[in-house]
Amino acid sequence: MKRLFLSLFFVFAFVGISFAQQEVVNCFNYKKAGDYQKAISYLKKAIEIAERYGNYHGLAQYLLNLGDTYRRTKDFIRTEQKNIEGWVKDKRKK
């Protein structure tokens, strides 16, 4: 039973990471093209997925990337908010 539980846990964890990975790839493609609003949209989806599957390291990275994307749109208040959230999440994982 314990093995089954662990197996299912890892399957769901990796599924969550792979879904979020596609969102992050899309984000960076739009960010590179200068379409920051679409990049923000994809990062928000990646953040939701990371939270759902407990991927706290990814969550911290996505929040920091979101802060950087807001910085590129000159939205400095949201930049600061997302960077602080990302740093806090990053500290919790250690």
pLDDT in tens, 29-87: 999 999 999 999 999 999 999 989 888 888 999 999 999 999 999 999 998 999 888 88
Tell which wins on pLDDT, 44 or 5.
44
pTM of the complete model: 0.74
Domain of 43, in residue numbers: 2-92
User: Is pLDDT of 92 > 80?
Assistant: no
Neighbours of 42 (CB within 10 A): 23
Nearest alpha carbon to residue 55 among 13, 27, 26 = 13
Whole-angstrom distance, CA of residue 81 vs CA of residue 89: 12
- Contact between 50 and 83 (Cβ < 8 Å): no
Q: List all residues 6 or more positions away from 48 whose beta carbon is below 8 Å from its beta carbon.
A: none
When divided into structural domains, the chain yields a total of 1
The CATH code of the domain that includes 50 is 1.25.40.10
